[in-house]
Structure 1
Amino acid sequence: MKKKATFFKSVLEEVKKISITDIVEEYVTVKRNPYSDNDAHCPFHADESFGSFKLNDEMNIYKCFSCGEGGNGIRFVMEMEKIEYKEAVMKIAYMHNIVTKSQAEAYFEGVSGDTKVRPVERKARAKSDDVVDKASVEVLDGLFSAFMDTCTLSDAHQEILKGRGLSDEEIQVGGFFTFPEASQDFLLRFYKTMAERGLDSQELKHVPGFVTADHYGEMKNGQKKYLYVFTNKKGIGIPVRNSNGQVVGIQIRQDDVDKDQKRYTWFSSTYAQHKNIYKHGTPAGAPLHTTYSNGERFNNVVFITEGIFKSIAISRHFGSTAISLQGVGNFQEIVEELNGIEKKQGEIKYIFVAHDADMVENVNVFLHLKKLVNQIKEAFPHIKFYNAMWDESYGKGIDDLIHNQETARLKRVDMDEFMAAYDSIIEPLEKAYQKKIRNIDKNVIRTVVQEKVFKLFMTA
């Protein structure tokens, strides 16, 4: 038995060396990206485009930001094959020539024969100083603001923002800018701005978007000082501000994207993990954005939506505060953000969730909605929740209704009643199709939700 245990331990050590991309690629098509995590279509829900299912070879994990599935390579095979842990380990080992088929079969038969394991060459990983901890909110705000103030906004990008319904004042207050090239001229002006404000440029080590390299460093006064640069992107820079108005991240609305690319991306340093010449920097995460109304009509009301442009439109039209999630599943900091809002303008009594109307077919949005509501209720049991609903024919997002002057189409639905109605269809569907709800065809879900949930409230 000891020999058998030693054999399995050796196999496991070699299996853990295999990149998550190489494991997943045996099952689904992978899109390899030179400067960021690799992409694939998520096999655990009805995924039809790249963007939500990420493969991080540095940490050797996968994560779907739509349905929430995640783990390492062994976990992935367990879920795909519906097998136990040791079976998955041996399956991977056989698929990657660590063991032979007869060795794998002998292990489960309790036979201790050939126990030689073929070693796997571990792929090069990023250096330990490639990615570091993110700076404090105060440092992020100072350095991001200096970066933004060194930029300008092109006429073309201003017209795009106006086309989204933003006024000149909203564009100015929002701090939107044309994302710059990392030219020598721009970097000189940026470093001058930091110096004038008494900011330490070396803190860029901890700011998403900025990286350096050994050949960018030089000794000054006995210390090595680095020049920090950033990757070139073409698009509109969108500051992400927390409830205190501090800039905690920057999104980029890219000018040109391929069919399978997302329009919005983060100013992030994750590409430092994939290029050996780069070091320092940190991932952007997915910080929340809070938009306050200019007026004081409804200080006790907060809307939660997805997308900064939606939050601006809501705040302007309804006279209330709006929080933007950068992805429906990215609400980990929501309680902290609500606490900040209450400190600024008093007790919150009502929350309206205004996700896009396509929740009728995307059950993952509903599952994230439940988690969001339950998380807030634990911290704020007094808050009354409503779901903002409308017919999708009038617009996908709530900003479409606002721009088209169709807000009279909105229905205010008690959130508990809505969630109970939606929950009631899940178990029957799973029994009927013998699948988890995430894996059932979205057209089937759309039909049932329309009949059993949306009609119930929209015709009331």
Structure 2
Amino acid sequence: MMRKIPDAFVEELRRRLDIVEIVSEYVQLRRTGRSWVGLCPFHNERTPSFSVSPDRQMYHCFGCGAGGTVIRFVMDIDGLTFPEAVVKLAERAGLDPPFSLDETPGATPHSRLDGMKEAHELAAKLYSYILMNTGAGVQALTYLETRGFPRQSLVEFGLGYAPKGSDTLVRFLRRRGFAESLLVEAGLAVDVGGRVMDRFRDRVMVPIRNLQGQVIGFGGRALAPDAKPKYLNSPESPLFRKSEVLFHLDAARRQIRKLGTAVLMEGYMDVIAASRAGVTNAVASMGTSLTEQHAQLLKRYAERVILAYDGDEAGIQAAKRALDVLEQAGLSVQVALFPEGEDPDDFIRARGERAFQRYLQSNAWTEVQFLLQDLRRNANLESMSGKMAFLRGALEVLAQRATPIEQDAEIRELAREFEVSVDALKEELSQLAKTLPGRHRPRRRFERTAEAAPLPKGHVLAGNRLLQAMLLEHRWCEMLMQEGLDELPLPEQTALLAHIYQFRSEHPDADTGFLLDQLDEPALVRLASSLLMEEPPQLDARVLQDYLRTVRLYQLETAYQRVLQQSVQAQVDGRMDDAAALRGEMEALQRQIQQLKWPQWTGKLGTGLKEAGQE
């Protein structure tokens, strides 16, 4: 999709927009010198670290690392894709985008999609009017009020009522020019033996919205106690795909981003009840199993997800499935199951709103605690064989899922409860760890391990200066490409280097801000925006050669240490031929290191080496 947007259009769009003006609609800014500063909208902070540069038309948070152009800001603050943000800003700037968001293979024609969206918006208004203003909606309104839903919640979520009549909505929309075939395709109506009827009848209606706040489907809760099914959702349609939509995410995403946490529930009524209790970062997957797309949606805004499911067997199994999906997306997960037989609405009505908030905070198990509790629930702890089976299962969970700290804590608890020694459990765990595949939550692509030794500052600085030069001027990118630069000291530096090369090959004349808007990995956005916002030292070919030499010296010394360790191990193992070959490699590396350390030129070393601490 990004390749369909001409570079010239994106640059013209940025030229017409004032980033300070747009950011000010979300952040209270004050001028400091040539920049504007304020509290970052992407993380909690008390001291302003969020800076906006009108000169560069960029922003950067020196606390959490968020940064980019005005397009990236709108993408991050509103949770939009790059094309969606371009369309939104183009409308503001008075430009007609040279593409449509619906230009995907096999997509329904844009005008037909617009018709479906309009039909859904009108349907939501009709249902709401019937609930709030007519005699037909009295029973539904009474039901909602007895469930404890105040009028404010009904209005906030746009709740309505679909009456018992078989074609109330169809007649309403037909009079407004909507074809019956479109209503059937959109999921608002059904064709029964050639007669088109309303899909939803005698149900409390809950509008389901996309990230732009547009109604794309409905959830209907039956009023009649014997009605089947109790909950009925819109079918899959060109507008509504259950696997890609989370209920209430359009309204909850800012609070989710602010807190870094999303509360994931099973149904829309749970979310509405949670919101009434002050938990405004709740969303739901609407009765369908959590999908990879759902998890990726949450990953845009959250670092952590609390699974707030019912405590019955179905809820427990759903939570176990969701755990794996969320962890594969790189999210931290906790589980807060409600007592069996109680859903969030029941819990709030019985115990109150504050108790509900406290429950989510204090009763959320870690993944390991939840899985151990599930094992315990199904274990026979009255017999010795049952105890041993439980212990083995618990150790398997610890071996596959737990961090070393969690393993230590849980082993001590198990040893105390079952009167076995800590050492015995640790030995068993060690043996299991060798045979079982680990299933730890994946690290983010460029997350450094806690035990990794910090790299020398000079090498990192040299890598950053090379990247900064490439971001600022195309000629330095060409020069360093010709020099064969393909690796830098840090993994994220090397990844950004690859992105820059690819970007320049596809967009040789485009502004670097276009690259920043395309980056998906937070670590790379953080690095690139910090380099673009920083005032660089004077850069020329000689200075860059110094930085390049510093990086290559680091790479050679690292390679030398690696070969040295291999050589020592070869000698210990008695592999003398391998040891001799490795000594030859070490000698060759030493010669290259000496050549770089004592370059064949006169005078002092360049500015780049001085700054990098390699003089």
More helix by share: 2
Structure with greater strand percent: 1
Point out the structure with max Rg over C-alpha. 2
- Name the TM-score, length of structure 1 as normaliser: 0.47
Whose RCO is larger (CA < 8 A, sep 6+)?
1
